[in-house]
Amino acid sequence: MTAQSSTRHHLRPSALFFSMALGLFGALPSAHADGGVERFVESATFNADGSVTLPLHEGTSQGRSVWYVLLDASDGKDAASLGINQASKLSNARGTRATQKVRVVNGVVDFPAAVDFSADHLVVAGAGGFPPAQAAPGSVGEAGYSPLIEFADGRILNAPQVALGDANAVSRDAAHKLTHDKVLAIDTTRRTVTLQATAGLNGGKPVSYISTEASVDLVAALEGATYAPALGAAPGVGNDGTDSSRASIAVFTNGQTGAGNAQRQGLSSALLDGLSPLNVTTWTPNQGRYSPLWDVFPAVWTPAAIAAGKNLRQSSFGKVADLGKKGLIASLDGGPFRAFPLSPEGAIVNCPIVSAPDRSAAPGSTRNDIAGQVDARRLSRVQSCQTRAQARPSGRACALSSPDGQLSACPVPVPVLSRRSMPRPR
């Protein structure tokens, strides 16, 4: 990144003005198939390495410049004008603590709260991977922070903040003290930001999503996301219906491990193998029950399931739920498979889905081969990370800066994992 000046883009609370002022593309379809990939966020550029480049917007918070992206809208007209996902269920969060009530001052969105990006993101794998020995998020929202911004007329946008500070400082932020851990590159003049995306699974097919916030600190650390406890107030714990603001996601903790294992899945694999956990979502943005607010359902294979060899990679939430009913999958507390049981508000991860393979693609094609798609892309990154780790003094941190997975462990014996130690992509 280089230091660059910028002129603030102005926003007014109307979809038409959003389209004009932010330099987007006008009316767009909600999903578009391009080269075998179904692109849900039309304003995004999808890069060969799996990362996603988005328009970057500037707002204010208590006199400071905040930089954010737009990914979902509760209103269909806003979604079409901005080239982002329509998520009608976000309307169910209206008037709750899960949203920030923003003002528009001189055409610029003013946020009550921003994000402190200065902390060191820390994840130390446990002996078996999950649970981690240590975990701390690299960014924390100020009191009341939420990526969901609510306008005076009740419309809601999903607007995760990705940087805090003036344009020159943000552009010079090689230490990741002013920017989100998912930021790979940021250009405050051209108004673009490139973010890591994560591979997941949905209905037997891969999807790609960007995880930006979580309502529980452990989950935020594991996701490389901002800790935003206000999101826990979003209504609908354990409820995936249209009267909820949430959608369900299954997160395996103890699936099979091994980077070359076609059955690998889960948090232990993410921690030990440095790859995506391949979480299982329920809906995509072209479905009415989609929401970017994923209600975490921890999935723990039971000893009986493991002994019987039933602990295979899963790609359908419905099938995961069926395995739970059969007693093969439990939750973190040993109870039945259900929404995150360790908090009365459950656990939410803000993970807008940005793309998926075209559903007409051949089942055996490269685009539908999750293991090859995710793991092969990371081979050169793993080798580079190993080289850096071996050159570090004992005890120094090492991690992969990967577009595929939120947990970025080097598969070499280094004690601490942290993206803060990595050179910043330019």
Which range is least confidently modeled, 8-22, 32-46, 177-191, 281-295? 8-22
Kindly report, residue by residue over 397-423, the tens digit of the pLDDT: 333 333 333 333 333 222 233 333 322
| Listed residue (220, 156, 180, 253) closest to 348, CA to CA | 220
* DSSP code per residue over 244-307: SS-EEEEEESS-B--TT-TTB-SHHHHHHH-S----EES--TTSTT--SEEEEEEEEE-HHHHH
- Given a cut of 70, is residue 277 above it in pLDDT? yes
Q: Is residue 6 part of a domain?
A: no
Quick one: how far is CA 143 from the chain centroid? 21
pLDDT at site 37: 80
Q: For residue 76, is it within any domain?
A: yes
* Per-residue pLDDT band at 35 (split at 50, 70, 90): low
Q: How far apart are CA 208 and CA 31, in angstroms?
A: 14
Residue 31: predicted pLDDT: 55
> What phi and psi values does residue 374 have, to the nearest 5 degrees?
-85, -50
The contacts of residue 121 (CB under 8 Å, 6+ apart) are 136, 137, 138, 139, 181, 221, 224, 418, 419, 420
What is the structure's pLDDT at 335?
98
Q: In 56-119, which residue ranges form alpha helices assigned H by DSSP?
A: 76-82
Ramachandran angles phi, psi of 82, nearest 5°: -90, -10
Task: Identify whether 235 is part of a domain.
Answer: yes
- Residue with tokens 């328009």, as numbered in its chain: 55
Q: Is residue 7 part of a domain?
A: no
Query: What's the pLDDT at 168?
Result: 95
Q: Which of 345, 290, 286 is nearest to 317 (CA)?
A: 290
Q: What is the pLDDT of residue 174?
A: 83
Tell me what the pLDDT averaged over the chain comes to. 82
Residue 259 Cα distances to 3, 70, 287, 375, angstroms: 39, 33, 32, 7
**Lowest mean per-residue pLDDT among 30-34, 98-102, 117-121, 401-405:** 401-405
Among 119, 96, 73, 406, residue whose Cα is nearest residue 232: 96
Whether residue 49 is contained in a domain is answered as yes
The structure tokens listed for 324 are 């739970």
Rounded average pLDDT over 130-144 = 98
Residue 361 belongs to what domain range? 15-421
Q: State the average pLDDT over residues 378-387.
A: 41
User: Taking the model in full, what pTM does it have?
Assistant: 0.82
Q: Where are the alpha helices (DSSP H) in 293-399?
A: 303-307, 317-325, 370-391
Higher pLDDT, 382 or 155: 155
Q: Residue 27: pLDDT above 50?
A: no
N residues, the chain: 426
- Asked if the model's pLDDT at residue 109 lies above 60, the reply is yes
> Is 155 in contact with 173 (CB distance < 8 Å)?
no
pLDDT at 211 (0 to 100)? 98
Span of 18-22, 216-220, 275-279, 358-362 with lowest mean pLDDT: 18-22
As a whole number, mean pLDDT of residues 108-134 equals: 97
Instruction: Give the closest residue to 87 by CA, choosing from 55, 131, 40.
Output: 40
Q: Is the residue at 5 inside a domain?
A: no
Reply yes or no on whether the pLDDT at 300 is more than 80: yes
Place of tokens 């997975």: 405
Domain assignment present for residue 266? The answer is yes
> What is the total count of domains within the chain?
1
